[in-house]
Structure formats: C-alpha cells, structure tokens
Amino acid sequence: MSAVKPPAGREISPELARVAGRRVLVFSPTIRFRLGPGDRALVEPGDSVVPGMPIAERTPDAELIDVGRLDTPNGMPRKPAKGPSAADDKSLEPLWKEDRVEAAAASAMTRPPMAVRATPGSAPIRQDRRRAPVPGKWWVGGAERREKLSKGKPAVRVGGTLLFETHGRWRAAAGERHQIVESPVAGVVRDARNAVEVTIEVAGAAMPGAIAAGEPSRGYLDVPRLTDGELWASALDVGRAGAVVVAGSRISAQAISRARAMSIRGLIAGSVGEGELRDLEASELRQKASLAPSVPFGLIALDGHGRRPIATPILALLAAMAGREVAIVTDPPLLVFDVAEVPLPELPPDWIRVRSGVHAGREGRWLESAGFYRFRGGIHLDAAVVRFFDETDTTVIPVSDLERFVF
C-alpha cells in the first residue's frame, strides 16, 4: 500500500474511535522560518523553491544603526514623520493629489518582483533600493554612507533591515556578517516578509514529530540496525556524514555531540530529554557565534521526552524510505519526504500502541472496551482490554494511554 494523498479513513468501532488517533503522515504541510530584525526574505509569495535554494538571509549580530535621512524614489528627501499632533487635514487633499503621484505612490508600495535565484548583492537589492523606505526594507550602508568616514580605517559595510523612522531619521538593524538560509524542502512560498517570516507549503508528505531542535537540515535517510531499539553512539561514524540517522528510542548528549562532529545532518529518535535539548541549544549558540559555522544539524523526537521506542509502523515506514533524501523541519516538527508517494505499512485497524504509562511503547491489538476501571492509586478511568503482540494474556489499559495510527 502506498499513499499519494490522504487515504479515506477506514470504518472502526465507536469504542475504538475513542482511542486517540495519531496521524503518521500529513500532506502538503506549511512550514515556517522565523526571521528577526536585520533578516530578509530572498523569495516572494508564489515562488517555487527546491532544496538548497536560498530563501532568507540572516544577520546574526544585528545592532542598531542610525541610517539618517533616506531619499524617496524621486530623489527628494522624504518628509519627516510627524509626532503626536493632529490628524491630516483631509480638505487639502484635492489640492495636491494628482493621478501620477498616486500611481507612483501605489507602485512604491507594491514590492517589485524578485528573482527566485537571487544572491545577496545582486539584482534584487538594486530593485529594492528604488522603493520608498519602509520598515523592513533591506538597507546596505557603511560609515561613508552616514558621513562618518574616519581616515585610516577601512570602510565597513553593513546590511540589514530598516526598523523605524523618527524625526526624519531612519534606524536599522544591521550587521557586517550574514548567513544564507537554504530551503531544506521543495515547495511553494506562501508568505515572505522581511524581519518576520518565510512560510512554505511543502510539496509532498511529512511525518509529524513531537519535538524538534537544532536547524532545518537535509540528508539521506539512514536506518541502521538497532540493538534493543537503541543505537550505540559509536555507530555514528564519519561514514554516515550527510545522513539523517534513525537513532532508536532516545538520543543521548554523547550521540548528539558525536553526530555533529561527524557532519551527520540529523537524528531521529523516539524521545529526547530536556537536558540534551539544552546542550544542543548551547552548542548551536556557540556555533553561530563562531566565524566558521558548520553544516545545519537538526533532531526530531517522534513521541516526547520520556523514553519510548519508535513505533513499529513508523520504523517500517522509515526503513522503506531508507536511502532517500529527507529533511528535518523544526517549525512545526516534521520529517519531510519530498516524494508524493510514500509506502505505507499494512496495519490491522485494531492495532494500538501505548503512548504513556508503565507500558509505554508496547503495541498490540484492541480487544474490547472494559468500561470504567479502577487503576493504581484508586483512579477510575475509561479502560480497554488489549493483547500485546508478544503476549498471550490480555491487559487492561486506560484508553487515554492508547493511540492508534491514522495514515
């Protein structure tokens, strides 16, 4: 069985319908890249992107720059912004409103189209310069642009986005250093706003995760042999450079450090602890602060923080996709398969998995509803009788601890 679009849901019993459904695949999800002051989008809504294409340019060390007065497109200095005084006198508008002025203003507010494959400093910037200064507009300047050139010092060029204008003078968030953000996926740009965000509608299918950290990254999917559902950190060697590796039930801090050192692009696991996430965040910050940043590295945990093995249907799906290019996206947490057709494992409709509690990670079949049942601690919960696939006896589990797979 394979999926090229969301398959229609199979009929299940009302009791089984009370079990939370876990969607294994989503189709054409929208992903987001957050930008901040000083960052600009290199794409426009409607643009098609492919993996590796620059979509944004970040300014990691953006600081406040007094840009000064900026000329409007017709060469005249822009009128200083007024303070909290009275509103415009509408009665004077007909005296100076002219068609060509309105047309020029309208064109100034419309963003000119940018080349999709733009690189910093090329055509888009020249086009951008012709627009009236507005918040978020890309600005490039240096000491000489601000008439502060000091003798004997090389001119430093900074770039960033305009922030706001007061008393006729513009402020910008700009810096010397810039980093290009490349799209890890193929898709269509849905929104692109300087200093705010770039959103892309992904072409293809994706597997949702619970937690993602690091940076969006891309590589070939490597599904090594797991020992008791775990992957030893020593298995992460240089031979896996460029891969997104399935790392078993839990990612350790040692595995993360080793994977980054081996130029592995990402790790996929059932769970990851908060301590490991903090270590990774600190490592990312150090990496960004260095002058020679390494390749993007991302990790995704499919279930949460508590240790749980990867669900067998998901592991089967990953095994079927082994060797193909996949991308880890952090917002929202997704493992993206660019292909539209994903091989799906065959599962009986009553196949369930325990997602929390003492039996977390175990899988089996739903037998029947057990009604309200008294569990440990004297807690009464809606319960179900299940049979785990490696047992002959039945077990009563709270329905709220179960999940079923929805493709």
Partner 1 sequence: MTSQPRAFFAVDLGSATTAAAVLGHVGGRLRLIAHTAAPASVDLDSMLIGLLAQVGRIDPEMFEELCAGDPPDIPTLVATWPRVVARTTPQRRIAVLAGSRRQRRRLEAAALRAGWLVVGGSADEDDPVALSRMVLSIETNAVLLGADHSPAGDEKRHLPDLAALVAAAAQSRPELTVVLAGGAAGYESVFAALADARSRHQPIVSSGVESGAGAFEAEPMAAESWEKAQTKLASPRTETDGEAATDEAVIDGEPPEETVAEPSDSQGPAADSLDAGQPEAEPRDAEETWAEVLVTVEPGAGEPVGAATERVAAADPADPATVDAQAAVALPFVAAEASPVFPHVLLAPDAEAGQPAGASLQQVLEGLRAFPNDSRLGVARSIASLAYVLDRSIETVEIGLQGGLWSRSEPFGEGHFTVVSSHACLADASFAPANPSEEAIDSVIAWSTAVLDRHKAMDRLNDLRLTPWGEADGEGAVFRVTAAKAAFARLIAAEPEMAANPMPELLIAAGGVFASAPPSVVALAMADLVRRHGVCHIAADGARLFGPLGVIEDESERRRLMANLADDILMPLGSLILPAGVRQGRSAGHMRLKGASSAAEIELHAGVIQVVDLPPGRAARADLDFRDAVRLGNRARHFSVDVGGGLGGLLVDLRDIPMRISDRPESRRAALEAWQRGMWPEVDE
Owner of token pair 């599962």: 347
Amino acid occupying residue 192:
A
- Told to check if 63 binds partner 1 by CB under 8 A, we report yes
- CB of 177: closest distance to partner 1 in angstroms? 15
CA dist list (Å): 239 to 62, 234, 235, 245, 263: 37, 12, 9, 11, 10
Instruction: Give the one residue of 73, 135, 242, 293 binding partner 1; rule: CB under 8 A.
Output: 135
198 binding partner 1? (CB under 8 A): no
- β-pairing, 250-251 with 243-246? unpaired
Q: Residues 304-343 vs partner 1: string with x where CB under 8 A?
A: xxx-------------------------xxx---------
Residue with tokens 């009236």: 132
Cis? peptide before 332, omega within 30° of 0: yes
The CA-atom distances, in angstroms, between 354 and each of 12, 144, 155 are 18, 65, 63
- Does residue 163 belong to the site contacting partner 1 (CB under 8 A)? yes
Q: Beta strand 30-34 with 48-49: parallel, antiparallel or unpaired? A: unpaired
Residue 162 belongs to what H/E stretch?
strand 157-166
Smallest distance from the beta carbon of 245 to partner 1, in angstroms?
A: 22
Q: State which residue, 34 or 324, has the beta carbon closest to partner 1.
A: 34
Q: In whole angstroms, what separates CA 15 from the centre of its chain?
A: 36
Query: Taking the alpha carbons of 385, 388, 393, 396 in that order, is the dihedral positive or negative?
Result: negative
CB atoms under 10 Å from CB of 261, counted, come to 12
Q: List the structure tokens of 305.
A: 């923080």
Nearer to partner 1, 239 or 275 (CB): 275
- Contact status: 38 vs partner 1 (CB under 8 A): yes
Which CB sits closer to partner 1, 136 or 298?
A: 136
Which stretch in 47-55, 96-104, 200-208, 386-394 sits in contact with partner 1 by CB under 8 A?
Answer: 200-208
Q: Does 68 bind partner 1 (CB under 8 A)?
A: no
Q: Which stretch binds partner 1 (CB under 8 A): 223-231, 338-346, 356-364, 384-392?
A: 356-364
According to the binding rule CB under 8 A, does residue 8 interact with partner 1? no
269 binds partner 1 (CB under 8 A): no
Among 214-222, 316-324, 385-393, 398-406, which window interacts with partner 1 (CB under 8 A)? 398-406
Task: Check binding of 213 to partner 1 (CB under 8 A).
Answer: no
Residue from 128, 284, 350, 382 binding partner 1 (CB under 8 A) = 382
Please identify which residue in 164, 281, 282, 341 interacts with partner 1, judged by CB under 8 A. 164
Taking Cα atoms as reference points, which of 306, 321, 282 lies closest to residue 2?
A: 321
CB nearer partner 1, residue 323 or residue 372: 372
Q: Which member of 8, 10, 11, 84 binds partner 1 (CB under 8 A)?
A: 84
CA-CA-CA-CA torsion sign (308, 314, 320, 321)? negative
231 versus 311: smaller Cβ distance to partner 1: 311
Cα–Cα distance for residue pair 207/310, rounded to 1 Å = 13
